[in-house]
Amino acid sequence: MKLAYLIASFPFVTFIFHLLVSTVFNNRYNEDLSKGINPFRWAEYSVSSSIMMVIIAMLVGISDFGTLLLIFSINATMILYGYPMELINQFTQKTIWSPFYFGTFAGIITWIVVFLVILRSNPPDFVVWIFVSIAIFFNMFAIKMVLQYKKVGKWKDYLYGEKVYIILSLVSKTLLVWQVFAGTLQPK
């Protein structure tokens, strides 16, 4: 698997989804937002963030295709739990947290696996910084969800939360691309 192709793929996946929700699926996207759900987000993140995890795993030295496939799949599972979280809780007075807990459990596994490889492999410093910075951003998504469902301040407004998701997504993806470029793809 070529790292350069993977790095190009996750912004491209994001672009395709954003193009679709701003054109062909715009009416459905806006209708879903009014209900407090966004299945398009969860579908896009399940692919793009899973590619990001595979890139990080490869940078720390994981090269076994089966392991990379499991990292991709478990991360995608974590993200996809966001959809039932939104779907179930649009009809409840009291928040049902089980999808959040299941997703959190799945997500922690991928980060633990990559962290254990970091401890064993001693990767370059820029790879450690990528791991730390993207881990922080991935956790900010979870914190955002907690604030939204606890209805803290501006987080009561679903559309405010949607804007925060978009900003977090843009910043985390841009950060990963530039960190990888700075560390591995510079011309020699």
Which residue carries 């179930």 as its tokens? 88
pLDDT single digits (tens) 7-43: 889 889 999 999 999 999 999 999 999 999 999 999 9
CA distance 94 to 96: 6
Residue 90 DSSP symbol: T
Rounded to whole angstroms, what are the CA distances from 12 to 17, 33, 158? 9, 23, 26
For residue 3, the model assigns a pLDDT of: 82
Q: pTM for this one?
A: 0.91
The alpha carbon torsion through 67, 73, 77, 78 (nearest 10 deg) reads: 50
Helix (H) or strand (E) holding 41: helix 39-60
